[in-house]
Structure 1
């Protein structure tokens, strides 16, 4: 591996000896951050130490293969694979500079290297190991669909004592593909809203749907048909799996940054959807309307409010919005309560706007949204 284009923001590149100084600076400026889970990196005390480590990696044509994670021409982390050619297996590890977390950088980079290993290099099995308490690191394989094989008890000794290690694996026959999951776009096109997926927390994420999601969408709609058809008339048009595929095709603009329905996932399961529809007014600036629904099995757990919060955050930043609205049926008290808990205020009532009832329009300005962030 020499260079992997993850998307228009991230590139993975094999390091050279000329990278020794900036790799050392990256480690040196992140010592407090690395101490908890990767204290071994603290042994690198000089640029010369780093140069010798790079020389060993370059000379070793098998074994460990580190790649630099690069954004805006800056090295912000390292990801790599330790390959066992005899068994056609590899173990992937990674670390990211403090302050770079929460943007999906590690997940996207990991998806790209897994793709390279399984689909290009012919590796059959990839493992990822992380301390049980290191939830950020564990979230990466979980989002990518790795199987949690179990826990190695007290497998690693850290400065504060022994820790248990969670073990995850992915087989070549199981891998869906990084591009199919929306984590990688090597074309270099500017990123669109919802691509790559919006990561909500360690268990939840939202992403643009694709053709392969029709089966899951149909199953979720079919199991919630009675409750959805009252509030969401569009659901009556989805009577077959073919209808679900057509709904996805017609409502997703993959080549245009026009907003999109986002599928909401919790622990890998599709639980609902959220639509962000941006528009622009010459007088009031850009705004977006947000609508949402969730399967009955997941109601009452605060999942959709977390998804809406993340979607509004992402939409305001991505589209540079002046404000956001939410439309909901006057009698849909759950949907109304969600908007109110997020700090939206009633803007108006559209009488007879739906076939069954009036529609309440809630709104919030971007300024008020930012000001009230700590209260959400």
Structure 2
């Protein structure tokens, strides 16, 4: 699928969503060259406007996932069972919905996708699950999950290390969830990407291929975003006490990777017959200019924080930036005084 086709598949309001940071706090909108993080990525602005704020008696923060709704509004899911709708220009909240399980219990909501019918697919890393909600936050059902990906003792996953990322690939037929950490028995650092496929014009997804992906040492996969042709943007993140966060952005290609749904143990070793997802580093965000940002705890770059959410909001179609995707990131402040809810606007070129 071409970049032009990807843009056409986004709603008419999506272009407006790319102006999100224009009125939402400190913005630095010089040329991409002056704000380069690497040859492929530049940062055009950041905003702390929502840090430590409340809306309708709900804490605004703990953001773990982003998506653009069909009307161009920005959706942000909190891992404290809330789904916020944010104004596309100012980032100010204009709605919030509580989320719950089928029994009414809270869920560790981590990532979301707006499906083509407008319903919301939201992961929880407690079990893990992918549940479908309507626009009012009412649960409509859930997707099947392979037994091995469930948290022990039901499966081989570790709590708080499951479905951290979720994306719907262009075309709307393939859904992909990324595990943050490795399964018990797999080599440390190798995580699994699970896909679901649907056929025809129906809404239901069925289990499909699974892939192995090697995260960098000490990092986990916290978000994925679908790209034209079946490729992915992958966000890896880690934290070291007294040092701060490491955040790296990769382009990844699962198209020639082995389907690992029937592979019990992933070693990542040459000769085991398993081809992992290929990845290419686009940028280590420590190399981005700080843009005057400040940090509340030690960071190798004061711009960095606990970045966890990511959404592709559009693309530069004309001018010098042609072919660059517009990508929005957000950090999860964990409702912690020494962390910040911060939005980041990037331009990303994927060859």
TM over 0.5: no
> Whose RCO is larger (CA < 8 A, sep 6+)?
2
Which structure features the higher share of strand residues? 2
Structure showing greater radius of gyration is 1
Task: State the TM-score, normalized to the length of structure 1.
Answer: 0.27
Q: In proportion to residue count, which structure has more helix?
A: 1
